[in-house]
Amino acid sequence: GENVEQHPSTLSVQEGDSAVIKCTYSDSASNYFPWYKQELGKGPQLIIDIRSNVGEKKDQRIAVTLNKTAKHFSLHITETQPEDSAVYFCAAYTGGFKTIFGAGTRLFVKA
Amino acid sequence: DADVTQTPRNRITKTGKRIMLECSQTKGHDRMYWYRQDPGLGLQLIYYSFDVKDINKGEISDGYSVSRQAQAKFSLSLESAIPNQTALYFCATSDPRGSYNEQFFGPGTRLTVL
């Protein structure tokens, strides 16, 4: 069935360093790839997304890249800050109702 | 602010008890979802509803039921709770008029079944 694999499950970086989270999807019909951030005690919140007709998108310190041929997409956070500490989920959407989520990456940013 | 709210936020119950988790939204979205979050497993879809008369099973619906009382309200029930239903539960909404099914999540309900 459709699935999204996400790595690593845990990531610890020093404040100011970059963080990269990688995902692989299985359904070649997927056309939309959102990233959600879940802070402690809150629900996931969309932080950035990318559509299949775009290879890269950037929003301040956050960027996403998409390689449709390899079915890979990645989240890049530069100049990390303690408030970036959270659980991050990647997801893939093919159409209709179903968004498939990755298992999540817990990011720790050490001050 | 238009929002998605869930009650209760935390609940501890015993095996065999009936539990209802409630979700309300002021976003005016037609689509509503219930997800379960377990460590290392991401978000798994339990049920979803596209409007008041529409209820659909997700990937892990066994042991759960739902009720869509109104456009703004979607409840999840555990008829006879068991310990492996201990998890974090999220309600979400999306707007079918929006692109690509962006989902808006509530704050979650942490359920512990003893």
pLDDT digits (tens, 9 = 90+) for B9-43: 999 999 999 999 999 999 999 999 999 999 878 89
* B85 in Cβ contact with B55 (< 8 Å): no
b/e sequence A6-25, b meaning 16+ C-beta within 10 Å = beeeebebeeeeebbbbbbb
What pLDDT score was predicted for residue A1?
A: 67
Closest in B41, B100, B105 to A44, CB measured: B105
> Cα dist. B58→A86, B65, B94 in Å?
27, 11, 16
b/e sequence A30-46, b meaning 16+ C-beta within 10 Å = bebbbbbbbeeeebbee
A37 DSSP β-pair partners: A45, A88
pLDDT in tens, A36-68: 999 998 999 999 999 988 899 999 999 999 999
- What is the rounded average pLDDT for all residues in chain A? 94
- pLDDT classification of A98: cutoffs 50, 70, 90: confident
Question: Would the pLDDT of B2 be above 70?
Answer: no
Radius of gyration of chain B (CA): 13
Closest in A6, A9, A99 to B103, CB measured: A99
- In angstroms, the separation between the Cα of residue A92 and the nearest Cα of chain B is 10
Q: Do A101 and B42 touch (CB under 8 A)?
A: yes
Residue A48: list chain B partners with CB under 8 A: none
In percent, how much of chain B has pLDDT > 70?
96
What pLDDT score was predicted for residue B99?
A: 64
Question: Would the pLDDT of A107 be above 90?
Answer: yes
Cβ-proximal residues to B50 (8 Å cutoff; 6+ apart), any chain: A97, B30, B31, B56, B96
Kindly report each contact of residues A56-59 with a partner whose C-beta sits within 8 Å and lies 24 or more positions away, as own/partner: none
pLDDT in tens, B37-74: 998 788 999 999 999 989 999 989 999 999 999 999 99
Question: Would the pLDDT of A20 be above 70?
Answer: yes
